[in-house]
């Protein structure tokens, strides 16, 4: 049996490197080296990352004048509109801003301590509103409908969250109407910044802020940290206690993990401490959502250190999809309302609604995936395609990004899927590491309506008559940069292990590098010559497998361990008991009924040579 992926085993570190860091476990050192964390200072900052290491938010250009403007507006009770994106990053970022502004508003105007749990926000809500566009009717970012709404409300300030950096025309209209715009965004920047009053965008040229990879929610957290700090200088520490903003870390962690920004530097700190806060969150909406997902949120004390059991996986695959489902299927306002309600019954109802929307999202995703696969069946050899480019008027734009990601995983090609609308198409794009799709979109500004995003995930819209031109441009750009004939999916393997090394000590050792995510992935291991003692299908549709494995090559008691493979049912016709295999896997914990055991999460399988 052949493997699905090429296996790229990372070069083993030398004895000289090991001897240079005698205080570090060689496994930890190897994993750090694989992630290009090799300088002594960088290693120390990574392993010993602490909340106090977060950078001064006032280092970001325009932060001080933006904070001054917001405080002045809150003191004068001027109108503010928070304009957020409809995904999990935008919704959590909008909530962070809303909660932070609420705290400062009451502290400034009532000279009293204001808690997140206070219920009477009627007065505040007359001055601060949150507007999240309809994904299906308006699309991403500031568009005509959003601008029209802003102008009709006549606010003094508009604060964009997770959008705005590419909305120069729209911001110019708003600014010329006498409304100051503050942009909080982290997407790829244009050559010229929009004419906004304040631009909180560390990626722009000339911004001295050292860390460039904060997401929208992370930047919103930095803004609120700065706002609270400045407010304290005016009213003292009794009104807003030091560290009060930490209760917003749960939302910052969700946005950071959901938006798949690199989990290094400040993002690693926000995720690490945010997961801890999430496990004991005061936000009743999050409490209801956690309960609805079936996650048991606990904080345990291990070796005198408190640790949360909620993981990046819990957020990325259980919490965030339910938040995103609101914007994908209905309206993101449902998620925002969940995070800001103070009524437990309403919170439970909203959490249940998000669950139903997520179930519907799964159904739509499966339907669209099958229809795309049917379209691809017309090609004799998909491996000769430089790009997968398909569209249909009946496809929901809300699930196209998910489907595109699955197709990239399967075919290892950039994928553009679009919904055909009356006069134009709206597309979600996913790419491979070898091709920067955000740069490609930037090169097509003359033939598209709008577009932008990240190197491997973006969105764009284009007139129907430009469909072929967009497709041809993408094809030519890809072929100019990548040899399509050599494209093949691969997995980077951190360490090849002997079977006897798979134990609790290994897990405890590498888990010190958690939380895992982009640029700090959960370690991938390879073990060879494992014998299958049992193999069976799992799941409602029998599309998963569970293996019992044994290795008799080691001395002493042989390794016996279980392994689970999701969507690996296709191997049931190729593998049998007593077959000897090589296995690529992640090491994880399987918990049930108060029991805990190590389990191999299968990434790839091949017959041993």
- pLDDT tens digit string along 479-538? 999 888 888 888 999 999 988 889 999 999 998 898 998 889 999 999 999 999 999 999
The model's confidence at residue 454, banded by pLDDT at 50, 70 and 90, is confident
* Per-residue pLDDT at 592 exceeds 80: no
CA distance to 104, 115, 284, per residue, from 240 (Å): 8, 9, 21
Give the tens place of pLDDT for each residue, 81-124: 999 999 999 999 999 999 999 999 988 887 555 555 455 678 89
Q: Would you say the pTM of this structure is higher than 0.85?
A: yes
The model's confidence at residue 303, banded by pLDDT at 50, 70 and 90, is very low
| Per-position DSSP letters for 168-236, written without gaps between them | HHHHHHHHHTT-EEEEE--SPP-SS----SEEE-TTSTT---S-----HHHHHHHHHHHHHHHHHHHH-
Give the tens place of pLDDT for each residue, 134-185: 988 888 889 999 999 999 999 999 999 999 999 999 999 999 999 999 999 9
Q: Where are the domains of the chain?
A: 6-46+491-607, 52-348, 379-486
> Which class for 503: exposed (0-12), middle (13-18), buried (19 or more C-beta within 10 A)?
middle
More confident: 503 or 218: 218
Residue among 41, 46, 6, 12 at smallest CA distance from 26:
12
- CATH level 3 topology of 52-348: inorganic pyrophosphatase (n-terminal core) (3.90.1640)
What CATH number has the domain spanning 379-486?
A: 3.10.310.30
The model's confidence at residue 304, banded by pLDDT at 50, 70 and 90, is very low
More confident: 299 or 539: 539
Q: Which two tokens stand for residue 421?
A: 């609308």
* Per-residue pLDDT at 283 exceeds 50: yes
Average pLDDT over residues 566-586: 94
Compute the distance between CA of residue 430 and CA of residue 415 in angstroms, rounded to an integer. Answer: 5
Compute the distance between CA of residue 357 and CA of residue 607 in angstroms, rounded to an integer. Answer: 41
Q: Which residues pair with 307 in a beta bridge?
A: 300
Average pLDDT over residues 319-325: 95
* Per-residue pLDDT at 553 exceeds 80: no
Give the tens place of pLDDT for each residue, 384-438: 889 999 999 999 998 999 999 999 999 999 999 999 998 899 999 999 999 999 9
> What percentage of the chain has pLDDT greater than the value 90?
75
* Per-residue pLDDT at 338 exceeds 90: yes
Region of poorest pLDDT, from 70-84, 293-307, 418-432: 293-307
Please report the pLDDT score of residue 195 as a whole number: 97
Query: What is the chain's mean pLDDT, rounded?
Result: 91
Region of poorest pLDDT, from 353-362, 368-377, 420-429, 557-566: 557-566
Please report the pLDDT score of residue 307 as a whole number: 53
Average pLDDT over residues 249-266: 95
What CATH number has the domain spanning 6-46+491-607?
A: 2.40.50.460
333-339-344-346 Cα dihedral, nearest 10 degrees: 0
Please report the pLDDT score of residue 468 as a whole number: 96
Average pLDDT over residues 195-221: 97
Please report the pLDDT score of residue 302 as a whole number: 43
Compute the distance between CA of residue 273 and CA of residue 278 in angstroms, rounded to an integer. Answer: 9
Q: What is the DSSP letter of 517?
A: B
Average pLDDT over residues 2-31: 94
Kindly report the CA angle at 42 between 36 and 45, in degrees rounded to 5?
130
Average pLDDT over residues 321-341: 94
Please report the pLDDT score of residue 308 as a whole number: 58
| 569 CB-near residues (< 8 Å, 6+ apart) | 537, 542, 543, 544, 545
Region of poorest pLDDT, from 45-49, 280-284, 472-476: 45-49
Please report the pLDDT score of residue 556 as a whole number: 54
Compute the distance between CA of residue 320 and CA of residue 91 in angstroms, rounded to an integer. Answer: 11
The model's confidence at residue 49, banded by pLDDT at 50, 70 and 90, is confident
Please report the pLDDT score of residue 305 as a whole number: 45
Average pLDDT over residues 23-38: 94
Residue among 94, 74, 79 at smallest CA distance from 179:
79
| 234 CB-near residues (< 8 Å, 6+ apart) | 71, 108
Q: What is the DSSP letter of 56?
A: P
Average pLDDT over residues 273-289: 94
The model's confidence at residue 554, banded by pLDDT at 50, 70 and 90, is low
CA distance to 136, 261, 316, 335, 396, per residue, from 328 (Å): 8, 20, 16, 11, 8
Please report the pLDDT score of residue 154 as a whole number: 96
């Amino acid at each position: 049996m052949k493997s699905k992926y090429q296996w790229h085993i990372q070069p083993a570190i030398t004895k000289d490197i090991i001897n240079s860091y005698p205080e570090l476990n060689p496994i930890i050192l190897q994993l750090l080296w694989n992630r290009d964390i090799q300088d002594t200072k960088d290693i120390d900052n990574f392993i010993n990352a602490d909340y106090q290491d977060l950078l001064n938010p006032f280092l970001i250009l325009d932060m001080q004048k933006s904070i001054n403007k917001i405080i002045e507006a809150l003191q004068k009770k001027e109108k503010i509109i928070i304009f957020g994106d409809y995904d999990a990053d935008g919704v959590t970022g909008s909530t962070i801003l809303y909660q932070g502004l609420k705290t400062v508003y009451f502290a400034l105007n009532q000279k009293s301590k204001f808690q997140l749990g206070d219920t009477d926000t009627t007065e505040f809500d007359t001055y601060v509103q949150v507007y999240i566009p309809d994904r299906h009717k308006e699309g991403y970012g500031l568009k005509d409908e959003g601008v029209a709404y802003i102008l009709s409300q006549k606010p003094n300030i508009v604060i964009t969250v997770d959008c705005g950096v590419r909305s120069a025309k729209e911001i110019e209209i708003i600014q010329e109407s006498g409304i100051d715009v503050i942009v909080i965004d982290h997407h790829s920047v244009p050559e010229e910044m929009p004419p906004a009053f304040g631009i909180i965008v560390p990626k722009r040229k000339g911004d001295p802020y050292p860390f460039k990879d904060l997401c929208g929610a992370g930047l919103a957290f930095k803004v609120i940290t700065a706002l609270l700090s400045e407010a304290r200088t005016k009213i003292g520490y009794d009104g807003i206690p030091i560290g009060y903003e930490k209760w917003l870390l749960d939302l910052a962690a969700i946005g950071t993990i959901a938006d798949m920004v690199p989990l290094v530097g400040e993002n690693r700190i926000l995720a690490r401490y945010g997961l801890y806060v999430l496990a004991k969150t005061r936000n009743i909406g999050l409490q209801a959502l956690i309960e609805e997902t079936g996650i048991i949120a606990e904080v345990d004390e291990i070796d005198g250190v408190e640790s949360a059991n909620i993981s990046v996986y819990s957020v990325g695959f259980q919490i965030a999809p339910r938040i995103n489902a609101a914007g994908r299927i209905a309206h993101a306002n449902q998620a925002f309302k969940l995070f800001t309600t103070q009524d437990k019954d309403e919170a439970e109802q909203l959490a249940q609604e998000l669950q139903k929307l997520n179930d519907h999202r799964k159904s739509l995703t499966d339907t669209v995936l099958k229809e795309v696969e049917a379209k691809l069946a017309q090609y004799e050899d998909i491996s000769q395609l430089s790009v997968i480019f398909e569209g249909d008027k009946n496809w929901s734009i809300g699930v196209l990004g998910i489907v595109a990601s699955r197709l990239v995983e399967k075919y290892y090609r950039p994928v553009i899927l679009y919904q055909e609308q009356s006069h134009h198409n709206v597309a979600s794009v996913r790419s491979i590491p070898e091709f920067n799709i955000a740069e490609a979109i930037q090169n097509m500004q003359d033939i598209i309506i709008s577009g932008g995003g990240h190197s491997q995930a973006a969105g764009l819209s284009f007139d129907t008559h430009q469909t072929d031109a967009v497709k041809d441009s993408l094809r030519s750009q890809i072929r100019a940069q990548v040899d399509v004939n050599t494209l093949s999916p691969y997995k980077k393997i951190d360490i090849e292990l002997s079977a006897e090394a798979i134990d609790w000590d290994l897990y405890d050792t590498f888990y010190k590098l958690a939380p895992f995510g982009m640029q700090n992935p959960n370690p991938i291991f390879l073990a060879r010559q494992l014998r299958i003692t049992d193999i069976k299908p799992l799941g409602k549709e029998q599309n998963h497998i569970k293996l019992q494995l044994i290795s008799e090559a080691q001395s002493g008691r042989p390794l016996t361990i279980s392994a689970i493979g999701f969507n690996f049912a296709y191997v049931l016709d190729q593998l049998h008991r007593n077959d000897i295999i090589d296995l690529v896997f992640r090491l994880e914990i399987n918990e049930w009924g108060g029991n805990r055991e190590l389990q191999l999460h299968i990434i790839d399988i091949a017959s041993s040579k």
